[in-house]
Amino acid sequence: MIDPEQAHEAIVEATGPACAQINAFAKKVLNTRGGRIGSGMGALLEALWGYYVNNALRDSAGQARQCELAWMYAHEYNDFACIVRDQKWDPTTREGELLRLEAKSMVASADESKAHFDQIVQKLNQQDILVVLVWDWVPVDDVRVCPQILDHFVGPALPIAEFRDALHIARGGTFVTPGKCPDGCAAGSCSHVGEPLNEQGKRERRTGPESRRVSQQVSYASNFGGMVRMLKTNSDAARKIFRESRRRNDTVDAYVSFIHKNFPNEEMNQYSASEWKRLAGRYDIDGTGLSKDDLAKKVRETAPEYRTQLRDF
């Protein structure tokens, strides 16, 4: 019988070919004049990812065939569950489930991604998976465009959530702890434990304590878990946590590398001018008189594998 680790592997393997199939489909069917950001296209791509991966699992000649993706229904947080094929599935008890997945999409050319990974750690399981699709509108001919998935990430969700939380705390944020809810809930009946509050003490999610609304008009802040924003650091302490976590944890490194590859300005900003200089030095690049921007450009041209070095910083 397939286990969660093998199911994870099967989903990773199926994702590359699934994205290629989605792109072929999008070229044929989803091509259009115009093509705007915020069109709901991201949600469609996430759904297509689920269907195409599911088909790949079904058509697999190996062990992958023993599992399939199911849509979560009701008010469950996750998008999909990976379940044992043709067996009884009960999402309430998780009978028949191998793991759960959340799929997020990000537009490569958007200034700030709207995608959020803000599930609180208490609700994530060790096996849960985070899928991120980076896409953009790409020309089909002289006048028409279609959405294309440019890159994807599939990995364990929990280490990324823990990294996100460590940086949240480094930024001055907190989490609601048992018995200390700002709403004054009784310890046993508080639904806010684990909810993030930002450095101003305001709630970051709609489900956070009502007494910590941002204002009369704005219900919650929603910076927490921004796919790019969560990696930002604004102090030496935060930068230290960023570097230590990246060095220590393969998943954190893979996620950081994925975001930095697709949003190179984030990488440029994360590392200081002296760090870029140090990195350039490792490749015998003469950085004299070069701006941080030019230095980063030069490193990227000279040594495409430079992120393995950055991980050690």
Q: State the nearest-atom distance from the C-beta of 178 to Zn ion, in Å.
A: 9
Min separation Cβ 153 and Zn ion, Å:
33
Burial class (CB in 10 A: 0-12, 13-18, 19+), 177: exposed
Question: CB-wise, 68 or 195, nearer to Zn ion?
Answer: 195
- Give the binding site for Zn ion (CB under 5 A): 181, 183, 185, 190, 192
Which CB sits closer to Zn ion, 110 or 185? 185
d(CA 285, CA 295): 9
Q: Which is nearer to Zn ion, 192 or 203 (CB)?
A: 192
Q: Which is nearer to Zn ion, 12 or 185 (CB)?
A: 185
**CB-nearer residue toward Zn ion: 5 or 210:** 210
CB of 124 to Zn ion, least distance (A): 20
Output the smallest distance, CB 227 to Zn ion, in A: 27
CB of 184 to Zn ion, least distance (A): 7
CA–CA separation, 313 vs 265, rounded Å? 18
* Residue burial 128-158, b: 16+ Cβ < 10 Å; e: rest: bbbbbbbbbbbebeeeebbbbbbebbbbbbb
- We find the least distance from the C-beta atom of residue 183 to Zn ion, in angstroms, to be 4
Indicate the residue among 91 and 182 with the shorter CB distance to Zn ion: 182
Nearer to Zn ion (CB atom), residue 175 or residue 306: 175
